[in-house]
A = this chain, B = another copy of it.
Amino acid sequence: MDEETDAIRQNRLPERMVDAADRRLLGALVEDATVSYAELGEKAGLSAPAAHERVKRMRRSGAIRQTVAMADPKALGKPLLAFVHVDTRGWGKTPELMAVSSFPEVEEIHTVAGDACLLLKVRTEDTRALEGLLARLYDTPGVTSTRSYVVLSTYLERPVQPGITQDWPAPKHMARPLY
């Protein structure tokens, strides 16, 4: 008992596996997080307090990273979506990554295996703003070349889907910024 509270304080949670009932809850919450716990429990075959308890645990363990509103980029004045492949030399140091992640247009940053080093997902007001972003990229030390893929139309955009019939371990660590 004492070691568990101790583990919680140290942010190392000995949380449970994500079981079938948890995945049913996740499936509903990934579709719409505004439903009541009563309705949520009904869908998962649980009472409201039980559903609440499990969701709270999943938030704690990091199985549910966050609950957010998805804003329409057009309503925020950023209708242009593009993927940018960045070739670099001497990456791996965090300062450059932090510089790029501070650009407000950048939505995702990944390092990938393939003929590019970095892969960015960016949203801007127009092509002119995209050019401005590219200019700032080239000003970042280490960047050698970029390749842009401007999105013409989007056919699908959805959260991670559950739907695997197997149980998986909860993530080891709490969700936190990666740098």
Contacts and interface: CB of A to CB of B under 8 A. Distances in A.
A75 B68 CA distance: 18
Contacts of A148: 114
A82 to B, nearest CB: 8
Q: Please classify how large the interface on chain A is, using the bins under 10, 10 to 19, 20 to 34, 35 or more.
A: 35 or more
Contacts of A153: 110-111, 178
A20 B63 CA distance: 34
Contact of A108 (B65, B106, B156): B156
Name the residue in A62, A67, A152 with the highest tally of chain B Cβ atoms < 10 Å from its Cβ: A67
Contact of A68 (B30, B155, B164, B168): B30
B101 A156 contact: yes
Interface in A74-111: 74-78, 81, 83, 97, 101, 104, 106-111
A113 to B, nearest CB: 5
A125 to B, nearest CB: 7
A90 B121 CA distance: 27
B68 A149 contact: no
A32 interface: yes
A97 B94 CA distance: 38
Given A29-B69, A78-B164, A112-B151, 14 more contacts: A23-B76, A31-B66, A33-B33, A64-B69, A67-B70, A69-B159, A76-B168, A108-B157, A110-B153, A111-B153, A112-B152, A113-B149, A119-B149, A154-B178
Which 7 residue pairs across A and B have the least CB separation, nearest first?
A: A29-B69, A63-B75, A109-B156, A114-B149, A77-B168, A109-B155, A112-B149
